[in-house]
Amino acid sequence: MALLIPRLIAPRKPNPLKSETYECGIETYGETWVQFKAQYYIFALVFLIFDIEIVFLFPWAVAFEQLPLFAVMEGVIFILILVVGLLYTWRKGVLEWV
């Protein structure tokens, strides 16, 4: 609904400039296309994976003393899986910057 209603009530003023790419107004100089190494994307994905795991581990760590043994073992297994993933990415050389 939040996406449909503005489309229905928004004024329509077709203009060819609206479909062009946005530029800041400054003339470009030199090569404008910058290509990043794929290694940086992989590094960013690994960072996101291990950053999201903090979201899962924080509540577990806060309530650690009140958790039953089964929940503690589940958390330990989760951490072991993450360590295996970290070792795998390390052995593949993803964490090297050179």
pLDDT at 73: 93
Global pTM exceeds 0.75:
no
The pLDDT of residue 69 is: 93
CA atoms in the 13 A half-sphere facing the CB of 24:
3
43 with 95: CB under 8 angstroms? yes
Rounded CA separation 90/93 (Å): 5
Reported as type and span, the H/E element at residue 37 is none
The C-alpha angle with vertex 75 and arms to 92 and 83, in degrees rounded to 5, equals 15
Residues in the chain with pLDDT < 70?
18-34, 36-39, 97-98
Helix axes 69-92, 38-62, angle to 10 degrees: 160
pLDDT in tens, 21-43: 666 666 666 666 667 666 677 77
